[in-house]
Amino acid sequence: MIKVEHIVKQFNKLKAVNDVSLEIKKGEIVCLIGPSGSGKSTVLRCINGLEIPEEGQIYIENQLFNSNNKEEYTKLRSKMGFVFQHFNLFPNMTVLENLTLAPIQVMKKTPEEAQKIACQYLERVGLLEKKDEYPNKLSGGQKQRVAIARSLCMNPEIMLFDEPTSALDPEMVIEVLEVMQELAKEGMTMIVVTHEMGFARTVADRVIFLEDGQIIEESQSEEFFSNPKTERAKIFLNKVMH
Amino acid sequence: MFSAFDQIFTPENLLFLLKGALISLGIAGLSLLFGLILGILGASAKISKNVVLRAIGNVYVEVIRGTPMLLQIMIIFNVVPIIITQLTGQVFRMNYYLIGVIAMSINSGAYTTELIRSGINGVDKGQWEACETLGLSRWQTMKLVVLPQAFKRIVPPLVSEFITLIKDSSLISTIGAVELMNSARAIGNQYYEFMSPYCLAAVYYLVMTLTISFIAKKIERKLAESD
């Protein structure tokens, strides 16, 4: 479904992503893990087009993801939902307005239709009663659940999560992970950049371990955690599992 | 010092000063309005991707902010009549108020350009990214998400700009416009005593500026509620 071939992304002189290739199948849940600055978020942002790699190609459903071909690019992009570390909800709109903005503006749905769908997704993330609140009245965990619902309203086939729980207080991590787990069960294709090793181990099908902009190890998640092959993965796991 | 205060402190003179004050307020208000329009254009130029537009925006802001307003008024005072005469072929009858509004609008526009630009830039770039991932166009993002948030940051400094304009409108007394400053001077000339009318003018200025900043504080508090 997604194929990344030899992408390179530089910031100034630093190669944040250095020759990364990977493939994600439909329905698969893949976690990108690694130390800070390993380039995992940048890989994810390249897949969505938030960063444009200098070298290499990305294919979405066998079609070249190329920003020069505007129409095709927009179409491919609309297949992907993106969840940010810092939620990026629109503070000037209510929860419901946050969810209906893009369906009305981009998919040209009627407000009634958009609201109906938005309410369904809010119900699913357990926040229907907050629909008329402004984001500043929500807790971090609630904000992130709203952000996930907002992405789902665009009916994506792939969900990309960029450290969705890293900005949350510890007691709120679980409610967000539960929503993601729910999505995984329904067969959503997901790529998750995360520091939540428990989630990676139990929910992900596959784990990709990056360091210094390169893929160091890639294996089935259970195997990665119980029997890491590379020395660097072992060192990393020793540091984060305690 | 206030030798003629009793003669000066009459309803007629107070009314005369009030008329001047209203003219000052009107000139400042119009300048703020046209300055806002110029500011929107200027800010659009400064954040556009077009290099030429950006350069024009930069030159406008730097030239205006780097030179005294009094000098700008003098230049407009000399240049505008020539241009209008050239265009219409008829001798232009000088309107001091019009010249004042033109000069002050151009001046205010430069400051407003920066206010709007920094208001827009102050909106978190995550907002742009979120819109991008949801498929909104740049223009939709600007109109529906960024500008409404920028607006809140722009209103308070825009009110300060209004207050500055009220005070600076006294500068156009130098080209002969009879606003509050010149009205006070006229009374002074009449009674050969200037302290009384100038102090009265100060009171009028203060009533205007303090009232506006009081209203501004209320608006600010209101806007902060939804943060």
Q: Is B220 on the interface with A (CB under 8 A)?
A: no
3-state secondary structure of A214: strand
Residues of chain A contacting B149 with CB distance shorter than 8 Å: 90-92
Cα angle, residue B6 at apex, residues B2 and B12 outer, rounded to 5°: 115
Burial A47-63 (b: 16+ CB within 10 A, else e): bbbbbebeebebbbeee
Please tell me the predicted confidence (pLDDT) of residue A37.
Answer: 87
A101–B133 C-beta distance less than 8 A? no
Cross-chain CB nearest to B134 (options A86, A102, A136): A102
Distance between CA atoms of residues B150 and B122, nearest Å: 7
pLDDT of residue A188 exceeding 70:
yes
B114's tokens: 């920066």
Chain B residues close to A74, C-beta within 8 Å: 135
Q: To which residue do tokens 């009634």 refer?
A: A112
Q: Do A80 and B148 touch (CB under 8 A)?
A: no
Question: Which secondary structure element, helix H or strand E, spans residue B101, and what is its range?
Answer: helix B96-121
Q: Do B126 and A105 touch (CB under 8 A)?
A: no
Between CA A94 and CA A47 the distance in angstroms is: 29
Counted residue by residue, chain A has a size of 242
Identify which of B168, B178, B201 has the alpha carbon closest to the alpha carbon of residue B71: B168
- Tell whether pTM > 0.95: no
Which contiguous run of DSSP H or E holds residue B23? helix B11-47
Q: Of A134, A131, A109, which is closest to residue A122 (Cα–Cα)?
A: A131
Would you call A154 and B130 a contact, using CB atoms and an 8 Å cutoff? Answer: no
ipTM: 0.92
B136: contact with A, CB 8 A cutoff: yes
Which of B219 and B111 is assigned the larger pLDDT? B111
pLDDT at B226: 62
Query: What is the sign, positive or negative, of the torsion defined by CA atoms of A21, A27, A33, A38?
Result: positive
Query: pLDDT tens across B41-95, in order?
Result: 999 999 988 999 999 999 999 999 999 999 999 999 988 888 888 888 877 777 8
Q: Is B147 near chain A, with CB under 8 Å?
A: no
Q: How many CA atoms lie within 13 A of B117 on its CB side?
A: 20
Residues 57-76 of B with CB under 8 A from A: none
Q: A155-174, pLDDT tens digit by residue?
A: 999 999 999 999 999 999 99
What pLDDT digit, counting tens, does each position of A16-34 carry? 999 999 999 999 999 999 9
- C-alpha B210/C-alpha B202 separation (Å) is 12
Cα separation, B128 vs B42, whole angstroms: 21
